[in-house]
Chains A and B, each alone.
Chain A
Amino acid sequence: MLRRLIIPGLAGFAAIGGLLSYTAFAEGGKSSSAIVVASNELATVLAPEELEQVGERESFISAYRRLTESQYRHAIADIFGDDIKVEARFEPERREEGLQAVGNAQLSVTTSGLEQYYSLARSISRQVVSAERETDYLPCDVTSSKDAARKCADEFVQEIGGKLYRRPLTKAERTLTLTIWDASAEGKDDYTQAFEHALTSLLISPEFLFRTEVAERVDDSDAFQLDAYSKASRLAFYLWDSPPDAELLEAAARGDLNTLDGLSVQVERLLDSPRFDLGVRAFFTDMLHFESFETLTKDTMTYPKFSQAVADSAREETLRFLIQHLVDDEGDYRDIFTTKKTVLNRTLAAVYNVPYPSREEWTTYEFDEDTERSGILTQVSFAALFSHPGSSSPTLRGKHLQEIFQCTKIPDPPADVDFSKVQAIEEGTVRERLDAHRTDPTCASCHILMDPAGLALENFDSLGQFRTLENGDPIDVSADIFGQEYSGATGVGEYMKSNPQVVSCVVQKAYAYGKGRKNDYREGQFLNSKTEEFADAGYQLKDLFRSLLTDPKFYEVEVPEGLSARTDSASLTTKAPASGGN
C-alpha cells in the first residue's frame, strides 16, 4: 500500500492549494469564481414535481452512504500511512438486492458501532500525534507559542479535514473544529492533546463516516448535477475502494469532472493504476457475499482440513483469481465459470489435494484438463460458503448460482410447506433425499431453478474437496437445466458461460454497486445497451467499468424521497460544500 508522508510545502501542497481555492469559492458564492465549469453534459433537468420538492435550494443531499470497512481502512492508510493500526470490529453491513452497496444505503451507525468508531478515532488520533509520528502530520511544533500553534492547527484542520471529508471544509466546519482545539489547548503549553482532540472530532464526524452525495443546481437553471467532489468520491470508491487522491480532488476543484472529457481522463487514470485491484476486490467481495467468511465454520470432525487459515486463503484465492483473470490476463468474464486456472497457496493446495509447485506464498495454478474443476464454481470459496457446516447443500449452491450470477431472486420457501415429504435418510446421496423438491409441484416451482445445477456440483463436498461417493454410493452429477443435459461442475460451467443472463447480471450489479441503490425497471434499456457494449468489447471487466463510469447516466441526479419543501436556508452556513453559498 502507498504510504504518503504529508509534509506541508511538499507533497501535500498542490492539494491544499486546490482545497483552499475551493473553500474561497464556497464561501464567496458562485458568482465570485469561475472554477466550476457549468456544463450540461453531466446535468439532469429535474421534473416539475421534483423541482417542487427541491424548492429554492441551491443544493441538497441525494444520499448518505456509510463507508464500508475496507473503504475506511483504505482512507486511513492513504491519509496517515499504512502503519497506523486500525483495530476495531466494524458493524456488519446489510445486503439488499444482492448487494451490500445497496443495503448499506439503509445503514446508519448504532451505538455500539459508534463506540467502535469513537474508540478507533481516538486510537488513530493518538497514533498520528504521537511523538514518533507528529512530524509527519503536524505542520508545526506542538510546544511553540500558542498563536503559532493555533495557526498551524488551522492549516492542519484544513488539510487533513479536506482529505477526510473528501472536499474542502466549510468555514463553519473549520471554526467548529478549531473550537475543539481551543478548548483542549486552554491553559496548556503543549498542544499535542488539542491536535488529538481536533482530529478525533473529524474522524467521528458523519461527514467522514458517510459518503455524502451532493446535488447542486447548475447556474440558475432547473438542472442539477452531482457536485464535482461527489463525483470524485464515486469514482475513487468505485475503482479504488479508497477516497479520492490529491489529483482527483484537484480535478474536482478545477471542474474537470463536470465535463465528459475531464471525467474520462480521470477514469482512465484510475483504471490504469495498480490500485484498481482494490476496486475489483471490493466489487467482487460484495457480489460474492464474502462477508459470510466472517462466520464460516465447518465441522472439523467431518472436514478436518478446515481451519481459519483455509477460510482466509479461500477468500483470497477467489479475489486473486478474479484479478489475475479479469484484469491482468484481460480474460473473458464468462470464462470465470470454466477455466482450469486459479491462484493457490500451500494451504489450499492441500484442500484441493494437489502438490503446491512453488516456494512463493501464492502461485498461479492450472488444474489438469481431465479434472472436474471448473472456475469459480469449484473454488473452495463458493463450495464452502454455500454449504452447511457438516454437509454440502445443492439447494444453497443452486440458489446462489441464481442470485449471485444470474440476478434471479429465489423466493423464500412458503411457510406452510409440507416438509414431511423431505425425509431424513442417512444413507445414499442427497439427490434421493431431495426427490420431493422435484416431484412435489409446490416445491418444484422454485427448486427446479436451484437443485439441478446444485446437484451437478455434488462431486465437491462442503469444503470443495473432490469426491465421487456419498455414504458409499456413487454420486450422480447429471443435470437437466431447462431441458438441456449437463454433467458435473464442468457442465454447469458451460451452462453458465453460455447463459446470456450471466452477462447481463454482472452489468446490472456493476451499475447498482456504483449507484448504491437498486436498479429501476426504467433503466432496463440503458442496461441492455451497456450489456451489448460489454459483449462487443469481449466481456472485459475494465471496459464495462469504463463504459459505466463515463456515462452521464451514472451521475444522474435523483431527488430523495421525503426531501421536504422548505424555504429556510439558515443551515447552509454549515452545510455548503457545493451550494455555492447561501
Chain B
Amino acid sequence: MRFSLKTVAAAALVSSLGCGSAMADWHKSYVIEWYEPAHYYGTDTGIVDPGTDCPAGSNPEIDHIKVLIDAGYTEQEAEWLRDQNHPYRLPNHGSNQMAFRGEGRANVYTQPWTYPDPGLTPVSGTISQGVDLDGDKGNGFTSPDGRTGIDNEFYRTVGCWKTYRGPDRLSSGAMTFNDSMREGSWTVAIVVSGSGDDPMNDDDVKVAFYDSQDALVKDGNGEIATDYTFIVSPHKKFEAIFDAKTVDGQIISTEPMDEVWMRDPSYNRELQLLKAQVHLKMEDDGRLTGVFAGYRPWEPVYEGWVRARGTVIESLTWVNLPGVWYALKRNADYSPEGADGEKTHISFAMRVEAVEAYVMHPDADEELTQVASFKDIAVEGPERPYRSFTRDGIVPDKDGVILAGPDAPIVPPTVTREELKSRLAAQKSAASGGQ
C-alpha cells in the first residue's frame, strides 16, 4: 500500500515517529490489470456448465441453416450458404448473406426490427455483483456478499450468452479484451485520495479513473507488474471521477455521478455511465477490487457486436444478434429523459481488479496526490470508435466488394467468386440498360 509520496518504509518511519495525526492528505494509486462486466457464474465447474444463473448452461449453439430456412431461404439455399466454399462466404468471415434475413431480405444487423424476436435466454438466478443504482432494495439481485437491490439488467439480459458467461476472468469476451489491454493497447489508471487521518475510514474521498498512454508491463510470471509508473493522459472523454467515502477500506460512492465516461473493454471502446457509482475495496495485499456501476446506453452494445462482424459473432458466439437487440431493449431500465419514454439505458456493473502503481500528474514530473480533473487541458479524445473493416456488419472482400445482398442470386458453392462477380455485373448492366 502506498501513501503520499513515500514508500512503505518511509510511511512506516513516519508513523513510528508518532506522526500519524500529521497525515493530512493521503492517496493511493493503481492501474487496472483486469476489468469485465460484473457477472455471477452460478456453478463451481467449467465455463459453460449449467448453474443457478443459467440452469440450462450457456445458450447453445444455433442451427444457422434453420435460421436461414425460417427466414425464407430454401433448405438447399441455406445449405449452400453455410458451405465453407460458398462464394458469398469469405474465408473465416462467415456467410455475408446471413445478414439478409429480415423482412424483404432486409439486413437484420442494421434493421433488427425487420426480423421477429428470436429470444435470448436470460439469467434466471437471483445473485449478481453490482450496485443498487435506484435505491430500491426491493428490486434487482442480491450481491454475493448479501446486499440486496443490486441493479444489473445488463447481466440479466446477456449473462447466459457465452461471450459474457464464465467464472471471473474466464469468459471469452473478457479474455479477448483484457489480453489486448495487458499487451499494451490501452491503460486505465486509478487514483484514490482523501484528506482524513485514516485512509481506511474517511468521509471525503475521491476516486478517479484516468486514461494513460503508458503501457502495462508484465512481470516474470506473465502477470501485470506492480509499482510501474503511469502518466495521466488528459482526455476529453475518458475521465471518471467519483465522490466517495471509505469504510474499513471499502470505497463507497456518497452520491451517484450524473455522467462519466470510460474506456470500455469491448468493441465499442466508449462506455458512458449515468448515475454512476463505485463500490471498491483496498485489499490488504495492496490490490484494489470491486465494481463501478451505472446505466449504460444499450444500443451501442448491440452496434458494437454488429460492427465487429455480425456474421462471425453469430457463428462463433452462438447468438442470433437481433435477439440481443430485442432483449436489451426489453430490459432497459433507465432513461435520462424520465421514466415514461422509451428506455435508452440499462443498469450495468463492471468488476475491476487493479494493482498498485504510481500515477503521475500529466506533467510527468510528480505524483498525482489528489484527484483532479484534466479534461480542460485535454487535446486527445474522444476515442475513435473501433475502426471496423465491416460494412453494415458484413465483410467486403479485399477489393471492397460485397457480393451478398437482398437481391443476390443464391447459387451453389460450385460457382466461383469470379463467375458470380461477372454474373452480377451482367445483371446490373442489364438492369441499367433496361431503363
Contact = CB atoms under 8 A, between A and B. Distances in A.
Chains A and B touch each other in the complex, with CB atoms below 8 Å apart: yes
Interface of A: 298, 300-301, 303-307, 346-347, 349-351, 353-359, 368, 370-372, 466, 468
Nearest to A356: B229
A371 B366 contact: no
Contacts of A305: 219-220, 225-227
- Interface residues of chain A: helix, strand, loop or mixed (majority): loop
Contacts of B376: none
B358 A356 contact: yes
A347 B228 CA distance: 7
A15 B265 CA distance: 62
Contacts, number: 73
A277 to B, nearest CB: 26
Interface of B: 5-10, 12-13, 214, 217-221, 223, 225-229, 231, 358, 360, 364-367
B229 A368 contact: no
Contacts of B214: 346
A359 B231 contact: yes
15 contacts: A300-B221, A305-B220, A305-B226, A307-B220, A347-B228, A349-B227, A355-B366, A356-B228, A356-B229, A356-B360, A357-B360, A368-B6, A368-B10, A466-B9, A468-B9
A358 B365 contact: yes
Nearest to B218: A307
Contacts of A357: 229, 360, 364-366
A491 B366 CA distance: 30
A378 to B, nearest CB: 13
A356 B231 CA distance: 9
Contacts of B7: 353-354, 371, 466
B369 to A, nearest CB: 10
Contact of A371 (B10, B12, B227): B10
Contact of A358 (B8, B219, B220, B364): B364
Given A355-B367, A358-B364, A304 B220 contact: yes
A306 B226 CA distance: 12
Contact of B220 (A300, A347, A349, A371): A300
Nearest to B6: A368
Nearest to A306: B220
Contacts of A298: 220
A298 B217 CA distance: 18
A353 B227 contact: yes
Contacts of A301: 221
Nearest to A359: B364
A493 to B, nearest CB: 17
Nearest to A298: B220
Given A356-B229, A358-B365, A304 B9 contact: no
B193 to A, nearest CB: 15
B217 A347 contact: yes
Given A304-B219, A347-B228, 20 more contacts: A300-B220, A300-B221, A304-B223, A304-B225, A305-B225, A305-B226, A346-B228, A350-B226, A353-B227, A355-B5, A355-B229, A355-B358, A356-B228, A356-B360, A357-B229, A358-B365, A370-B10, A370-B13, A371-B10, A466-B9
A289 B52 CA distance: 61
Contacts of A353: 7-8, 227
A304 B355 CA distance: 14
A350 B225 CA distance: 8
A275 B168 CA distance: 55
B219 A349 contact: no
Nearest to A358: B364
B325 to A, nearest CB: 44
A350 to B, nearest CB: 4
Contacts of A347: 217, 228
Nearest to B219: A304
B2 to A, nearest CB: 8
Nearest to A300: B220
B394 to A, nearest CB: 43
Nearest to A351: B227
Contacts of B229: 346, 349-350, 355-357
Nearest to B220: A300
Contacts of A346: 214, 228-229
A567 to B, nearest CB: 65
A350 B364 contact: no
A347 B214 CA distance: 12
Contacts of B366: 355, 357
Contacts of B8: 353
Contacts of B13: 370
Nearest to A308: B220
Nearest to B360: A355
Contacts of B365: 357-358
Contacts of B219: 300, 304-307
B220 A350 contact: no
A304 B221 CA distance: 6
Contacts of A303: 220
A356 to B, nearest CB: 4
A299 to B, nearest CB: 9
B6 A350 contact: no
B275 to A, nearest CB: 34
B285 to A, nearest CB: 13
A360 to B, nearest CB: 9
A371 B9 contact: yes
Contacts of A359: 231, 364
B304 to A, nearest CB: 33
Contacts of B217: 347, 350
Contacts of A349: 227-229, 358
Contacts of A307: 218-220
B287 to A, nearest CB: 14
A188 to B, nearest CB: 45
Contacts of B5: 355
A233 B352 CA distance: 61
Contacts of B228: 346-347, 349-350, 356
Contacts of A370: 10, 13
Nearest to B13: A370
B214 to A, nearest CB: 8
